[in-house]
């Protein structure tokens, strides 16, 4: 790696930018998708506060999805074509879900009061469509777009697991952003979904080497199995730290509820690291390496200049936005 040329490093830089953007998207948009999935279980007053907790953030969070897919399109057009061709239907379903969420977010407040329950259900439906479609796409991607029974079963498993993980992330967000009865209700929601999500995540992790033999070689060969052991151990520590806080409500009331959100984010990050390690150096597992998929070095140099300008702006804006709107949420209203 150290002896690589600039032309060999450039595709890796763009791969890192794309991976970073998609990871940030999954975390940031994941919690607001999770809040949307929890919406049917709250009363009307709590619904308004839940929507308000994500109000300043949800649309900006989706900027990271645009950046990640944009880098895939511009820097790796051959991979983009292959991925979108294989995932055309779930991508369309995801976009329908995201559009439905956007429409429902505004209409639930501005439409006549009798239509508010309909738009609440639409917001939930859009969140479910988007979360399940993303899970299906992830599962299909990991299997190399296998359409056999095992590939379909694996994709379906992640299509269920990812929304469950989003629910835990959303509940952790509400624990941080709300107080009183809604905060304790969010603790109860997180308690209900924690173990099912954890069991499903372990099952998916165990099944991943079965659906792609190269993954098994990377994780269970010697000596890398010992070097990689901290990853599942850290996941276990994060999981039980989340469980400890959830089973001790006094810790939540005492201001330590952020551990639930932070622990869930850590699990997401470690899972992403595991996935990246499993498929590298392929950008489409078993089909195309990152260097095979990249455009010419001259074109990447031009795009690199744009990324150097654009990425810090997006990061800076995101940090600024969260600092400005941080604090406990109140019911959403329009003047």
Would the CA dihedral through 160, 162, 163, 167 be positive or negative? positive
Please give the average per-residue pLDDT across 25-39, as a whole number: 94
Q: Which residues touch 131 (CB under 8 Å, ≥6 apart)?
A: 33, 37, 97, 162, 163, 166
The end-to-end CA distance of the chain, in Å, is 57
Confidence bin at 1 (pLDDT 50/70/90): low
What are the tokens at 262?
């932070």
Confidence bin at 331 (pLDDT 50/70/90): low
* Packing angle of the helix pair 258-279, 230-246 (nearest 10 deg): 160
pLDDT tens digits, 75-98: 999 888 888 888 999 999 999 999
Separation of alpha carbons 82 and 77, rounded Å: 9
For residue 257, the 8-state DSSP code is T
At 22, which helix (H) or strand (E)?
A: helix 6-38
Residue 112 confidence (pLDDT)? 82
Residue 118 confidence (pLDDT)? 93
Please give the average per-residue pLDDT across 175-195, as a whole number: 94
Do residues 165 and 201 touch, judged by C-beta distance below 8 A? yes
Q: What does each C-alpha distance from 176 to 108, 151, 162, 253 come to in angstroms?
A: 24, 37, 21, 10
Residue 184 confidence (pLDDT)? 95
Is the pLDDT at 332 greater than 70? The verdict is no
Give the rounded percent of residues in the chain with a pLDDT score beyond 70: 98
pLDDT tens digits, 264-315: 999 999 989 888 888 888 888 878 899 999 999 999 999 999 999 999 999 9
Is the pLDDT at 113 greater than 90? The verdict is no
Nearest to 158 by CA among 142, 135, 140: 135
For residue 221, the 8-state DSSP code is S
5-13 long-range Cβ contacts below 8 angstroms, 24+ apart: 6/297, 7/297, 8/291, 10/294, 10/297, 10/300, 10/301, 10/304, 11/75, 11/76, 11/290, 11/291, 11/293, 11/294, 11/300, 12/290, 13/304
Is the pLDDT at 153 greater than 80? The verdict is yes
Residue 333 confidence (pLDDT)? 56
Residue 62 confidence (pLDDT)? 86
Q: Which residues touch 299 (CB under 8 Å, ≥6 apart)?
A: none
Separation of alpha carbons 315 and 71, rounded Å: 16
Is the pLDDT at 146 greater than 90? The verdict is no
Residue 56 confidence (pLDDT)? 85
Question: Which DSSP string do the residues of 100-138 spell out, in sequence order?
Answer: HHHHHHHHHHHS-GGGHHHHHHHHHHHHHHHHHHHHHHH
Residue 142 confidence (pLDDT)? 84
Do residues 124 and 164 touch, judged by C-beta distance below 8 A? no
Specify the pTM: 0.92
Set out the domains of the chain in order of their start, with CATH numbers: 9-324 (1.20.1630)
Looking from the CA of 179 toward its CB, the CA atoms found within 13 Å total: 7
Residue 106 confidence (pLDDT)? 84
Is the pLDDT at 221 greater than 80? The verdict is no
Residue 227 confidence (pLDDT)? 77
What average pLDDT does the chain have? 89
Query: What is the signed CA dihedral for 324, 326, 327, 331, rounded to 10 degrees?
Result: 90
Q: Is 289 helix (H, G, I), strand (E, B) or coil?
A: strand
334 vs 222, residue with greater confidence: 222
Q: Which of 23-37, 69-83, 103-117, 179-193 has the lowest mean pLDDT?
A: 103-117
Do residues 123 and 106 touch, judged by C-beta distance below 8 A? no
Q: Is 281 helix (H, G, I), strand (E, B) or coil?
A: coil
What are the tokens at 198?
């954890």
């Amino acid at each position: 790696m150290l002896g690589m040329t600039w032309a060999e490093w450039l595709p890796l830089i763009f791969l890192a930018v794309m991976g970073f953007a998609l990871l940030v998207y999954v975390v940031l948009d994941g919690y607001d998708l999770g809040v949307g999935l929890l919406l049917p279980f709250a009363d009307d007053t709590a619904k308004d506060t839940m929507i308000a907790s994500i109000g300043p953030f949800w649309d900006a969070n989706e900027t990271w999805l645009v950046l990640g897919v944009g880098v895939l399109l511009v820097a790796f057009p051959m991979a983009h074509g292959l991925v979108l061709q294989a995932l055309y239907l779930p991508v369309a379903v995801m976009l329908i879900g995201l559009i439905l969420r956007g429409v429902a977010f505004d209409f639930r407040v501005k439409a006549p009061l009798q239509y508010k329950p309909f738009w609440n259900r639409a917001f939930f439906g859009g969140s479910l469509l988007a979360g399940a479609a993303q899970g299906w796409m992830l599962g299909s991607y990991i299997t190399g777009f296998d359409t056999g029974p095992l590939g379909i079963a694996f994709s379906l498993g992640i299509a269920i697991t990812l929304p469950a993980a989003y629910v835990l992330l959303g509940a952790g967000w509400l624990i941080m952003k709300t107080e009183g009865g809604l905060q304790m209700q969010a603790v109860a929601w997180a308690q209900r979904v924690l173990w099912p999500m954890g069991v499903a995540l372990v099952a998916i992790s165990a099944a991943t080497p079965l659906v792609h033999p190269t993954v098994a070689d990377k994780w269970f060969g010697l000596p890398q199995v010992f070097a990689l052991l901290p990853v599942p151990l850290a996941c276990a520590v994060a999981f039980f730290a989340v469980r400890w806080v959830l089973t001790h409500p006094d810790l939540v009331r005492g201001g330590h509820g952020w551990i639930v959100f932070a622990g869930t984010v850590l699990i997401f990050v470690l899972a992403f690291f595991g996935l990246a390690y499993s498929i590298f150096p392929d950008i489409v597992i078993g089909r195309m390496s990152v260097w095979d998929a990249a455009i010419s070095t001259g074109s990447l140099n031009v795009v690199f200049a744009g990324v150097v300008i654009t990425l810090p702006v997006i990061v800076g804006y995101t940090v600024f936005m969260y600092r400005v709107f941080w604090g406990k949420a109140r019911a959403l209203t329009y003047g």
